[in-house]
Amino acid sequence: MGDCRPLGFLLGLPFALLALVFSVIGIVVWIIGTVLSCLCPCCICCAGIANFAVDLVKLPVKLLRWFTYQIPC
């Protein structure tokens, strides 16, 4: 039970919900970036946009973990 930090989880939940909205936006940007990089493989900026979008998709999990580890038991 040493890793049980429910207070950090509850405090981080509203921010994770906001990050979830950003992750949906990230999914849309990732799809657009992937399509553009397939149409024009010489366009390296589309790959950067797709990588940024993947980071947006992972944001809610990272945010909840960060909040959980900030609050001591």
% of the chain surpassing 90 pLDDT: 0
Residue ranges in the chain whose pLDDT is less than 50:
1
Q: What predicted TM-score, i.e. pTM, was given to this entire model?
A: 0.59
**Helix 6-39 vs helix 44-70: angle between axes, to the nearest 10 degrees?**
180
Could you give the CA distance from residue 57 to residue 34 in angstroms, rounded to a whole number? 15
Q: What is the pLDDT of residue 5?
A: 63
Q: Which of 13, 61, 53 is nearest to 31 (CA)?
A: 53
Q: How is 9-61 classified by DSSP, letter by letter? A: HHHHHHHHHHHHHHHHHHHHHHHHHHHHHHH-TT-HHHHHHHHHHHHHHHHHH
